[in-house]
Chains A and B, each alone.
Chain A
Amino acid sequence: MKKLCTLVLLGAFSVSMLTGCGSKLSDEELKQLEDLKAEVTSLEKEIANKDAEKQALLKAIADKDAQLAQCMKDKDALKSTPGGM
């Protein structure tokens, strides 16, 4: 009975060791994965920055459009006055 118990324990130990060793990843593979994750994070940040830059440019263009429209309106108003050019 004691022998049987010891055998069962040894059997379980061997199976667990075999299972663990069979699927273990190399350091190089793990580094590859980490590098890829870091690259993706970096790209996401870069895109967020570019999106902000794009929004700022769109706002600057809209402001200039408004100023230009006002300027044209002023010019037209002055032209339409009797003393206008």
Chain B
Amino acid sequence: MTITRILSAVLLIAAFAVSAVAQELTKDEWQKQITELTSKRNDLKNRLAAVQTEIDNLKKQDADKAAALKTCQDELAAMVGAEEAPYAASLDKIDARLNELSRLSNQDLYARRGEVDSVQKWIDAAKQHRLSVLPKYADRLKDQQSRVDALKRTLQQILESGQGMQAYTVGTWAKDRDCLWNIAKKPKVYDNAFLWPKIWQGNRDQIKNPDVIHPGQNLKIPPKAALTSQEKSAVRSYWNKKQAAAPAGGTK
């Protein structure tokens, strides 16, 4: 009898398990899912067709744009002609020189300050070229100009700080004709004789009378710049003294 009970209990559990599996999805639920999925599939098919139509239109637009772009680029190439390559090369040259100058120490930059002016002239010439109106070159020239401006600012700072001061050893009058006027006139000094008071005022410790300098004297050459008010005043005073000391009727 006990065996019968156990068997019945096992059968009952098995029956519940079987019925539970079978009841995972009822017929109604299946039908509901089939209906929902069919509707979703139809929506997706419609959406796919719509996207495909959009893609076809976009492909056509893309092809049209490519053709228009090629036409425009061909026309532009015809307008620019053979000028572009040499023009671009000239801008490359400016870039290369700017890179070189930008890497220099302040001392070396000051020594090669003339090259900064040369680069500025190249840029000015490049700006005159008709291709300079093309945005890609206009932007490049603008960048190059700002780099030259930066170098000029650096040079100005070097001048103001006195880092650019050079030295000059006075030679003999017989051989070199060295006086302050002639020294200032030398191209490697100021290339401007009227700036001689700068040398005088820059060397007050060793030049008491600007008419008298001695061979072998090491003079400091202040940076080239316009005469300061102090230097102008010194020159006036010098000429006044010279006139006062001159015999009556003299010109100097």
Q: Are A16 and B62 in contact (CB under 8 A)?
A: no
Given contacts A23-B22, A85-B79, contact A74 B135 (CB under 8 A): yes
Q: Which residues of A are interface residues toward B (Cβ below 8 A)?
A: 2, 5-6, 9-10, 12-13, 16-17, 19-21, 23-25, 29-30, 32-33, 36-37, 39-40, 43-44, 46-47, 50-51, 53-54, 57-58, 60-61, 64-65, 67-68, 70-75, 77-85
A79 proximity list for chain B (CB < 8 A): 79
Q: How far is the CB of B38 from chain A (nearest CB, A)?
A: 7
Q: Are B25 and A25 in contact (CB under 8 A)?
A: yes
B4 CB–A CB distance under 8 Å: yes
Contacts A16-B12, A74-B76; is A61 near B41 (CB within 8 Å)?
no
Query: How far is it, in angstroms, between the C-alpha of A74 and the C-alpha of B54 when the chains are bound?
Result: 32
| Contact yes or no, A57 B133, CB < 8 A | no
Give the A-binding residues of B (Cβ under 8 A).
1, 4-5, 8-9, 11-12, 15-16, 18-23, 25-27, 30, 33-34, 37-38, 40-41, 44-45, 47-48, 51-52, 54-55, 58-59, 61-62, 65-66, 68-69, 72-73, 75-76, 79-80, 130-131, 133-136
Classify the secondary structure of A's interface with B. helix
A54→B54 contact, CB < 8 A: yes
Distance between Cα atoms of A19 and B181 in the complex (Å)? 125
Enumerate the 7 nearest inter-chain pairs by beta-carbon distance, A residue then B residue, closest first: A20-B19, A43-B44, A64-B65, A71-B72, A57-B58, A77-B133, A20-B22
Cα distance, A32 to B25, chains bound together (Å): 14
A2 to chain B, nearest CB (A): 7
Q: Which of A44, A57, A82 contacts B62 (CB 8 A)?
A: A57
Choose from B22, B41, B58 the contact partner of A40 (Cβ within 8 Å).
Answer: B41
Q: Is the CB of B12 within 8 A of A61?
A: no
A6, B4: Cβ atoms closer than 8 Å: yes
Q: Can you list 14 A-B contacts with CB-CB less than 8 angstroms, sorted by A residue number?
A: A9-B12, A20-B15, A20-B19, A23-B27, A25-B30, A57-B55, A58-B58, A61-B61, A68-B68, A70-B135, A71-B69, A78-B79, A78-B134, A79-B79
Given the contacts A75-B75, A78-B133, A81-B133, A33 and B41 also touching, CB distance less than 8 Å: no
**Once bound together, how far apart are the Cα atoms of A67 and B44, in whole Å?**
36
Can you name 13 extra interface pairs (CB under 8 A) apart from A12-B12, A77-B133?
A9-B8, A9-B11, A13-B12, A32-B34, A36-B41, A39-B41, A47-B51, A61-B58, A64-B62, A64-B66, A74-B135, A75-B75, A80-B133
